[in-house]
Amino acid sequence: MINSTTTAETTHVMQLPRKVIIGERILSNTSQLIKDNIKVNSKIALITGENVKSKIIDTIEENFAANNTEFQWIIAGDASFESVGKIENELKQDKIEIIIGIGGGRCIDIGKMAANNLKKPFISIPTSASHDGISSPFVSLRGSDKPYSIKVETPIEIIADLHIISNAPGKLIASGCGDLIAKITAVKDWEIARDDNGEYFGEYAANLSSLSAKMMLDISKQIVNGQIDKKISRTIVEGLISSGVAAGIAGSSRPCSGSEHLFSHALEYISNGRCGLHGERVGIGTIIMAKLHKLNWIEIKNALKIIGAPTTAKEIRADKDEIIKAFVLAKKIRPERYTILNKIDINKNQIQDLVEEVGII
């Protein structure tokens, strides 16, 4: 469908990863997987955290040595622009040509941002499936005046080792499920921005993102006793990668991030990062926003519960005031992002009633 601002002649840029590899124990083949995709002339930087490094060091070093691949470990600091700046200096001094981020959100975001600033190819190696930043052209870092994701270059390659990802703590994959289910309200918000404001709406990207959320709802029906097996882990990883790719197709975070993400960013800001993981906050935001959108919020809440993701403020260590404040701030945190929050005007008592009704507090 062509809307008011997009015509067949409109130029639209899509940024996609060149290669996505998903498999069991593929980390022991990392060097070849990179060389099959990119010409490697010089040193590769591996940005990671101490904990992840201790788990993968033998596998990576053995593989890189066997393939005569020069590399250097870089330990990432906190998820801030300051950390990125320090790492950029190291990368420049050592004449690094390819940057890899190995880990959860922090190391991937730091690596993706540094690679973007230095105009170097970035490879994403997630060790958990906790959010869609593993494949998207977006990063979320502290230290800017904008407490939400910013657009960068898409990772050129994603290597997802299911052996490592499925052995990560269950809390992380449950958080990833929260980030997937969020696409239900994100796409609804995008639709109303199209209808009310004539904003660009990419039908294909929206459908791809919705499909990931739908699969998430379907998967929750297959889970027994909270057990997420390897087959389900694989579908979750593929869903998160597809959502990130949907953002690359749209050229914006619109298909992946709506009012539920605004709520999450606001809560993170208010609590100084104390309340839950990204996908955990986003999942709770999705329950609230689904109610506002008049969607089946009970189905969403039940799916999150089955998966083991939090569905109450208490589970993410947030109190009633923080939840209400986050809801109020959500609309102001990114004024240009039009969502369901722009269409409603409710006072603090009504917000309290709303979050009580959906059982968040």
Q: Which residues would be at the binding site for Zn ion (CB under 5 A)? A: 179
* Tokens, residue 329: 């701030």
User: Given the complex with Zn ion, which of 179 and 199 has the nearer CB atom?
Assistant: 179
User: Given the complex with Zn ion, which of 179 and 268 has the nearer CB atom?
Assistant: 179
User: Given the complex with Zn ion, which of 17 and 176 has the nearer CB atom?
Assistant: 176
Contact 131/180 with Cβ under 8 angstroms?
no
User: CB of 256: closest distance to Zn ion in angstroms?
Assistant: 6
User: CB of 247: closest distance to Zn ion in angstroms?
Assistant: 10
User: Given the complex with Zn ion, which of 121 and 258 has the nearer CB atom?
Assistant: 258
Q: 47 burial class (0-12, 13-18, 19+ CB within 10 angstroms)?
A: buried
What is the phi-psi region of residue 194: left when phi exceeds 0, alpha when psi lies from -120 to 50, beta otherwise?
A: alpha
Q: What DSSP assignment string belongs to 232-253?
A: HHHHHHHHHHHHHHHHHHHTSS
User: CB of 35: closest distance to Zn ion in angstroms?
Assistant: 31
Report d(CA 174, CA 165) in Å as an integer.
12
Report d(CA 180, CA 188) in Å as an integer.
14
User: Given the complex with Zn ion, which of 31 and 253 has the nearer CB atom?
Assistant: 253
User: CB of 243: closest distance to Zn ion in angstroms?
Assistant: 8
User: CB of 175: closest distance to Zn ion in angstroms?
Assistant: 10
Residue of closest CB approach to Zn ion:
179
User: CB of 27: closest distance to Zn ion in angstroms?
Assistant: 25
User: Given the complex with Zn ion, which of 96 and 340 has the nearer CB atom?
Assistant: 340
User: CB of 202: closest distance to Zn ion in angstroms?
Assistant: 18
Contact 286/174 with Cβ under 8 angstroms?
no
What are the DSSP E strand ranges found in the chain? 19-23, 44-48, 71-75, 98-103, 122-126, 138-139, 150-151, 157-161
* Tokens, residue 317: 């260590």
From the list 213, 208, 207, the residue with the least C-alpha distance to 183 is 213
User: CB of 70: closest distance to Zn ion in angstroms?
Assistant: 35
Half-sphere CA count of 165, side-chain side, radius 13 A: 36
Which residues share a beta bridge with 22? 160
Report d(CA 175, CA 329) in Å as an integer.
23
CA angle 28, 30, 36 (to 5 degrees): 135
What is the phi-psi region of residue 359: left when phi exceeds 0, alpha when psi lies from -120 to 50, beta otherwise?
A: left
User: CB of 271: closest distance to Zn ion in angstroms?
Assistant: 17
User: Given the complex with Zn ion, which of 183 and 291 has the nearer CB atom?
Assistant: 183
Find all residues with CB under 8 Å of 345, minimum gap 6, and list them. Answer: none
User: Given the complex with Zn ion, which of 45 and 277 has the nearer CB atom?
Assistant: 277
User: CB of 139: closest distance to Zn ion in angstroms?
Assistant: 11
Report d(CA 224, CA 221) in Å as an integer.
8
User: Given the complex with Zn ion, which of 179 and 322 has the nearer CB atom?
Assistant: 179
User: Given the complex with Zn ion, which of 109 and 179 has the nearer CB atom?
Assistant: 179
